Amino acid sequence: MTPYPAAFDLPVLASMALVAIIPLALAGFVLMNTGLGRTRSAAHSMLGSLAAIAVAALVFCVVGFSWEGVAGGSSHTLTIAGSHWDWLARVPFCLLGLSPGGTRTNLAVLLQVFAVGLAALIPLSAGADRWRLSASCFSTALLAGWTYPLFAHWVWGGGWLAQLGSNYGLGRGFLDAGGAGAIQVVGGLTALSVVWIIGPRRGKFAQDGIAPAIPGHNIVYVLFGALLVLPGWIALNAACAILFAGAPPAQIPLIALNTMLSAAAGCMAAVLITRLRFAKPDASLSANGWMGGLVASSAVGSFVSPMVAIGVGMIAGVLVTFSVELLELRLAVDDPGGAISVHAVAGIWGLLAVGFFVPGQSLAQVVGVATLLGLVLPLTYGLNWLLDRVFPQRTDRDGERLGMDLHELGAGAYPEFMIHNEEFVER
């Protein structure tokens, strides 16, 4: 079960220091989600985030890691036309196979706990103001126990996507060094599934077809959250590259630089586009552009030069800005935090960009993206649809009218705030 050397070495020590910083990404992301939601659901958003991180950690350790495993560990394989396809890990449940002693495997599990927590926060952003707390916990359990480990095994656990290079000569196999696919796109596609199932917030798409903007309640949270995410994201990209892609610790500065530059380019692209289109820069879209750059950097950060990282981040910022509008105004998808655009769209772009800029990688990256869209999306939609049949995920009319704080928690996040009467008028 432990294919790595048990003794500490430089990559393990470097990864350990980096993994300790990753929770900052979660904290920043939670703050952003809450700020982009409404006042009357702020406490619900914070508690929901905490609960999602907790459920994800527990379920992943009890069940998920046994499906994911580590590269070189035991697994279920299928032989097709003489090639061995590694489909699923075969590791004891409840982390029973882990050995004490600070091995890379233990560190990989710790990193995955944070990674799956981050993936679990993405759908919460999209389902804000109408997704029941208990339902979001069950949905998180499905994500952490099945969807995430399955794809993460294929990419990071020596699965068939990682074997595309050795089996079919497709470059180095599907490359996802920082989790753009395994964390971001899986989370983003789960967010899309959840939004499709629970539907838009009441009053979002009016009878005349106009979708009124429902602005976030605290843009300071959003922008501070975006800043707080940065160190955590740098650590996530670097730790994943060392532990799962075999990058040497000497590469950490380049990964950090590429992450920062990609985020900066994404943010500035969004600032410029919103300035040109609406005469003034839009703060929440600019923060989403920053996040889009970070997500794209998770794919390309380990493999490209800083100038290419800037270009990739800039395109991610442009894509996020237009995708938010396309989803809301043309496709009637109510995603309050822009999670689908930031994580799924920018993540897919980043993964494809690896194919453009790393020689011989293009087909492997296309196969990875096709797997995300063609298998992960139907799988996560199907699981959440089944959950909704058994346990309805959307809150009732009172929940939306009163706000999730009062309805599910019994108290608001800001009890001393004046609540305006029109907030309680039925639309």
Partner 1 sequence: MKLAGMLLLLAGWVIVVSALALFARPGPRDLFVLAGLGVELLGLMLAFRGSARSPREAK
Rounded to a whole number of angstroms, the minimum distance from the CB of residue 160 to partner 1 is 9
User: Is residue 363 a contact point for partner 1 (CB under 8 A)?
Assistant: yes
Residue among 283 and 369 whose Cβ is closer to partner 1: 369
Directed axis angle between helix 346-357 and helix 362-371, to 10°? 160
Residue among 27 and 375 whose Cβ is closer to partner 1: 375
Q: Which of 92, 101, 306, 378 is in the footprint of partner 1 by CB under 8 A?
A: 378
Rounded to a whole number of angstroms, the minimum distance from the CB of residue 331 to partner 1 is 5
Q: What is the footprint of partner 1 within residues 246-305 (CB under 8 A)?
A: none
Helix (H, G, I), strand (E, B) or coil at 312: helix
Q: Which of 38, 132, 153, 204 is in the footprint of partner 1 by CB under 8 A?
A: 204
As a whole number of angstroms, the distance between CA 381 and CA 333 comes to: 15
Q: Which of 80, 220, 307, 386 is in the footprint of partner 1 by CB under 8 A?
A: 80
Q: Which of 96, 100, 207, 420 is in the footprint of partner 1 by CB under 8 A?
A: 207
Q: Which of 177, 228, 369, 413 is in the footprint of partner 1 by CB under 8 A?
A: 369
Rounded to a whole number of angstroms, the minimum distance from the CB of residue 393 to partner 1 is 15
User: Is residue 371 a contact point for partner 1 (CB under 8 A)?
Assistant: yes
User: Is residue 329 a contact point for partner 1 (CB under 8 A)?
Assistant: no
Q: Which of 20, 50, 307, 331 is in the footprint of partner 1 by CB under 8 A?
A: 331
Residue among 257 and 363 whose Cβ is closer to partner 1: 363
Give residues with Cβ within 8 angstroms of 258, minimum separation 6.
297, 300, 301, 302, 304, 306, 309
User: Is residue 358 a contact point for partner 1 (CB under 8 A)?
Assistant: no
Residue among 215 and 382 whose Cβ is closer to partner 1: 382
Q: What is the footprint of partner 1 within residues 158-177 (CB under 8 A)?
A: 164, 168
Rounded to a whole number of angstroms, the minimum distance from the CB of residue 123 to partner 1 is 16
Rounded to a whole number of angstroms, the minimum distance from the CB of residue 365 to partner 1 is 11
Directed axis angle between helix 10-19 and helix 104-126, to 10°? 30
Residue among 318 and 352 whose Cβ is closer to partner 1: 352
As a whole number of angstroms, the distance between CA 229 and CA 149 comes to: 23
Q: Which of 154, 156, 205, 303 is in the footprint of partner 1 by CB under 8 A?
A: 205
As a whole number of angstroms, the distance between CA 201 and CA 34 comes to: 16
CB 266 within 8 A of CB 314: yes
User: Is residue 146 a contact point for partner 1 (CB under 8 A)?
Assistant: no
- The DSSP annotation for 236-295 comes to HHHHHHHHHS---GGGHHHHHHHHHHHHHHHHHHHHHHHHHHHSS--HHHHHHHHHHHHH
Displacement of CA 392 from its chain's centroid (Å): 24
As a whole number of angstroms, the distance between CA 159 and CA 151 comes to: 9
The closest alpha carbon to 32, from 317, 403, 284, 409, belongs to 284
Rounded to a whole number of angstroms, the minimum distance from the CB of residue 81 to partner 1 is 5
Q: Which of 16, 366, 409, 419 is in the footprint of partner 1 by CB under 8 A?
A: 366
- The DSSP annotation for 364-387 comes to HHHHHHHHIIIIIHHHHHHHHHHH
User: Is residue 370 a contact point for partner 1 (CB under 8 A)?
Assistant: yes
Rounded to a whole number of angstroms, the minimum distance from the CB of residue 370 to partner 1 is 4
Residue among 236 and 372 whose Cβ is closer to partner 1: 372
The CA-atom distances, in angstroms, between 289 and each of 5, 34, 262, 269 are: 40, 18, 10, 7
As a whole number of angstroms, the distance between CA 77 and CA 55 comes to: 30
Count, residues near partner 1 per rule CB under 8 A: 30
Give residues with Cβ within 8 angstroms of 331, minimum separation 6.
none
Q: Which stretch binds partner 1 (CB under 8 A): 62-70, 106-114, 204-212, 416-424?
A: 204-212
The CA-atom distances, in angstroms, between 199 and each of 121, 196, 203, 263, 332 are: 18, 5, 11, 31, 9
Rounded to a whole number of angstroms, the minimum distance from the CB of residue 25 to partner 1 is 28
User: Is residue 209 a contact point for partner 1 (CB under 8 A)?
Assistant: yes
User: Which residues bind to partner 1, rule: CB under 8 A?
Assistant: 80-81, 83, 164, 168, 196, 199-200, 204-209, 331-333, 363, 366-367, 369-371, 373-375, 377-378, 381-382
